[in-house]
Amino acid sequence: MNRDKYVVVKRQEARMKIMQLLYSLELQGSIGNKHEALQIFKNEYGGLIKPYSEILFKHILDNLSSIDEIIHRLSHKWDISRIARVDLAILRVAIGEIQANVDTEVAVVVSQAGMLARNYSTAESEGFVKGIVKAYGRSIDD
């Protein structure tokens, strides 16, 4: 397998696993417990491009409130509690990835977020998620 293809597949897998873990932590009500979340992450998912996935996951946890504020603002002030939990987890991963500057182009992040929404959420979610991530990408380019 081509090395570049391997990295892409592993990053796709890492995004999916981080999204699933964020979703699970949200449902359990323990998303705010960084220590517990990091321990679960290391036990379950630490082997997936470790530097990339660990940097991304830690960034999301460390910046959760500011990421949620961005989502709130770009979703036309929808209350975070009204956004489907899966969509919220996908948005947190995508915005966190752009913020963490882990050497991924915004267009790739938008595409991957759309793919996650298409595979794990509702038919309407893909457009909603991609719209917010695109808007965030444009806002940091200004």
The whole-angstrom separation of Cα 48 and Cα 16 is: 11
* Structure confidence by residue, pLDDT tens digits, 25-69: 999 888 778 888 888 888 876 555 567 888 899 999 999 999 999
Residue 83 is which amino acid? I
What does pTM read for this prediction? 0.88
Task: Look up the CATH number of domain 3-141.
Answer: 1.10.940.10
pLDDT in tens, 115-131: 999 999 998 999 999 99
Contacts of 118 (CB under 8 A, 6+ apart): 125, 126
Mean pLDDT, range 70-93, rounded to an integer: 94
Q: Please report the sign of the dihedral spanned by the C-alpha atoms of residue 120, residue 81, residue 65, residue 34.
A: negative
Alpha helices (H) in the chain, listed in sequence order? 3-28, 34-45, 50-62, 64-74, 85-100, 106-120, 125-141
